[in-house]
Amino acid sequence: MTEEIKKFLTEKIRREFAACGIPAECNCKIPEDVFITMRDGVRLHTWICFPDSAREKFPVILTRTCYPDNEFMYRIYGEELARRGYGFAWQYVRGREQSEGDWIPNIYERNDGIDTVCWLAMQPWCEILGYWGHSYTAMAGWAMADAVEGKVASMYLEDYGTDRFVSAYEKGAFRHDVLTSWSMENGPVPVNDGYEKFLESCRYMPQREVDEKLWGCRNDSYREYIGSPKENDPLWQSGWWKELREIPSKTVIPVCVVSGWYDHHHGSSMNTWRSLSDAAKKHGWLRIGAWNHFFEPCTPGREIANLRPEEMPEMIAWFELTLKKKKLPEPKVCFYLIGGDRWIEKSTWETRGQEERSYYFGNGMQDVEEGYVGALLEKETFTGKEKGNISWGYCYHPADPVPTVGGEGLLKTKWQIGSLQQPEAGYRSDVLSFQSLPLEKDLVILGKIQVELYVSSDCEDTAFTAKVMEVTPEGKAYNIRSSITTIGEDILEGKKYEIGMVTKVTISMWDIAYMVKAGNRLRIDISSSDFPQYNIHSNCAGLWSDQTHSRPAYQKIYAGADYPSRMVLPIMPKYLT
């Protein structure tokens, strides 16, 4: 991290604390460091900032981290929190910074977190304890959330979900940009050789050998990821990842779950919220904004005057309520409506009054513009000559994948995170674009978009992608949601795809809240790759990470009475008022 970036982040954090509405009431003492002994004798390096006040006891906020490079931020957090009457402790997990033990991601965080909480709770200066975490440090909070009742009063957990499979795969496609990049940079021997090295790693075949061949060491956790593409694989259904996924259902303390519509953990975060126990939801908050993993706005071209992407004011408000006032929060779900530039607040995520609207793939519109191969037709217009079956084809070459432009499952390719302006229709022969008529009224999408496609391929397995967009009258297109599926994952269990057979696949997308303005159009692009957001499908059957070669695939999309390919939008009319 450069000094320029550190300066920018320092100023940003200071501004957010200054704007939090809680004035500084004292100074911060010089941080003290201790080594806290875990149950197996390993000592973890822990820093503690204390408020310089006459009070003998004060509320304490803990975070546990694997990121030594972020120490300058933890010191700022500690100083600013101490000035507002809080103690702040940050601890380095095993094998990181000066903490003892071996650095093995995830595995030790539950027991080490519980031991640390017990130590802090027994200190004479700890009045009440809370936990705050972001990304991996949020995982370290979730790891013990069900086991610290009576010691931790509440948790504020940002940008992490406990359903690790959802953060790793989408129907057989691996999220390279998240887990390959993170595994390279946080492995036994960190690899930080630039973006080209990352892309070379993603393309390497067979992928199961990339660690030893390109990274210079064996990375067992990465090998487990790339060898477990199915949700029922042992990695996800036993051991730590199973235990972590089940923790929210057993958690009873108040938790605030924070996510971004374009955070790469968003799908998992929503599953976590949905699985949270009734006792925790009764006093829990869910907050979702139009930002990426780093709380940066990422919807250029849309009004965001009311977005409020600041992290600190909301965190302080939560702990003022739960630690200082010692109150149980009232349930609250608050999310930002992209395109509507407003926050919607309610007591539950359940979407009462939701409707479905289908747009069918077809031909026949008189004003389909150049570059589009077909139209998106509302159900009631799907008549006449559109009732005949039609098809479109393209050739997908794994050697030349469609590059990711805007997306939600991104971490390394930071500049492409979000709802970004898209290339014009027809920009590649292997991307089929379909467009609707201009909308007569505003349309609010809330929930999970699905795309049902009837397809065929001349390969025994392959991938299909879909990207849903809003198009302005000027022709500017902005992605709303995108996703992927593989034929191998959509074929019924125990069956094999027969080359040339027409089969139905379903592309499911993460939750979104998005207003498409009247006068704008909907566009959907269909293709077979989205790299590096997802791995490049080789068009060969079998475990993707074992593939040693790839081949081109000729794909066909079908529509009509026998093959009603469609996009299904979950809409909420009541949010238009």
Rounded CA separation 552/30 (Å):
62
552 cis-preceded (ω within 30 degrees of 0): no
| Per-residue pLDDT, 490 | 85
Cα torsion at 24, 26, 30, 33 (round to 10°)? -80
Q: Select from 84, 412, 103, 139 the least CA-distant residue to 269.
A: 139
Contact yes or no for 262/207 (Cβ under 8 A): no
The tens digit of pLDDT for each residue in 69-119 reads 999 999 999 999 999 999 999 999 999 999 999 999 999 999 999 999 999
Q: Please report how the helices 3-18 and 312-319 are oriented relative to each other, as an axis angle in degrees rounded to 10.
A: 50
Rounded CA separation 28/6 (Å):
21
Say which residues have a Cβ less than 8 Å from residue 487's Cβ, sequence separation at least 6: 455, 457, 461, 462, 463, 464, 497, 503, 505
Contact yes or no for 176/413 (Cβ under 8 A): no
| Per-residue pLDDT, 256 | 98
CATH no., domain 3-165+232-297+303-337: 3.40.50.1820
One-letter amino acid of 525 = D
| Per-residue pLDDT, 493 | 61
Q: Please provide residue 289's backbone torsions phi and psi, each rounded to the nearest 5 degrees.
A: -120, 170
The pTM is what?
A: 0.95
Say which residues have a Cβ less than 8 Å from residue 290's Cβ, sequence separation at least 6: 260, 261, 262, 297, 298, 299, 304, 307, 309, 336, 338, 419
Host H or E run for residue 117: helix 109-121
| Per-residue pLDDT, 354 | 83
Residue spans of the chain under pLDDT 70: 364-369, 379-387, 492-494, 577
Domain range annotation of the chain: 3-165+232-297+303-337, 355-576
The tens digit of pLDDT for each residue in 374-425 reads 999 986 454 445 457 899 999 999 999 999 999 999 999 999 999 999 999 9
- Confirm whether 3-165+232-297+303-337 and 355-576 share one CATH topology: no
Say which residues have a Cβ less than 8 Å from residue 466's Cβ, sequence separation at least 6: 451, 453, 482, 483, 484, 507, 509, 524, 525, 526, 567
| Per-residue pLDDT, 492 | 63
| Per-residue pLDDT, 14 | 95
| Per-residue pLDDT, 496 | 87
Domain 355-576 in CATH: superfamily? Galactose-binding domain-like (2.60.120.260)
Six-digit token string for 362: 């077809």
What is the residue whose two structure tokens read 């990121």?
A: 67
